[in-house]
């Protein structure tokens, strides 16, 4: 399953647990807790998606240059399939938004 990056989904039950350095450790989505796999390299950037250029579909009033993004690999358990989550948030907000979920890395 992949959500369109042209129309990011605002997921009300999306919560991201961070370590003290601000790196995602776990994601609560659709009533499930996905653990970020430390063996999979996470990607972090500010502004647009490095693979797609600056994002033009930022929410009204948001500063796309200041939007924080994370792309992480996560699993439901040690033997479950890997899913890749692309998360974003405005640095002035505590709420995370889900841009994309895809199978694998």
The average pLDDT across 33-55 equals 78
Look over the chain and give the mean of its residue pLDDT values, rounded to a whole number. 79
Point out which residues pair with 75 in neighbouring strands. 35
Q: What is the pLDDT of residue 94?
A: 85
Measured CA angle at 71 (ends 70, 74), to 5 deg: 115
pTM above 0.75, yes or no: no
Residue 55 has pLDDT above 60, yes or no: no
Give percent above pLDDT 90 in the chain. Answer: 55
The average pLDDT across 10-38 equals 90
CA-based R_g, the chain, Å? 13
SS3 state at 66: helix
pLDDT band at 19 (very low <50, low <70, confident <90, very high): very high
CB-based contacts of 102: which residues, under 8 Å, 6+ apart?
Answer: 1, 2, 83, 84
Residue 104 has pLDDT above 80, yes or no: no
pLDDT band at 36 (very low <50, low <70, confident <90, very high): very high
């Amino acid at each position: 399953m992949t959500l369109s990056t042209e129309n990011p989904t605002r997921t009300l039950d999306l919560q991201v647990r961070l370590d003290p350095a601000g790196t995602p450790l776990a994601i609560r989505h659709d009533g499930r807790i996905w653990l970020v796999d430390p063996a999979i390299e996470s990607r972090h950037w500010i502004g647009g998606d490095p693979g797609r250029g600056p994002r033009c579909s930022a929410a009204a009033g948001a500063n796309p240059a200041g939007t924080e993004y994370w792309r992480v690999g996560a699993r439901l358990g040690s033997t479950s399939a890997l899913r890749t989550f692309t998360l974003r948030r405005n640095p002035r907000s505590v709420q995370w938004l889900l841009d994309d979920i895809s199978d694998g890395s």
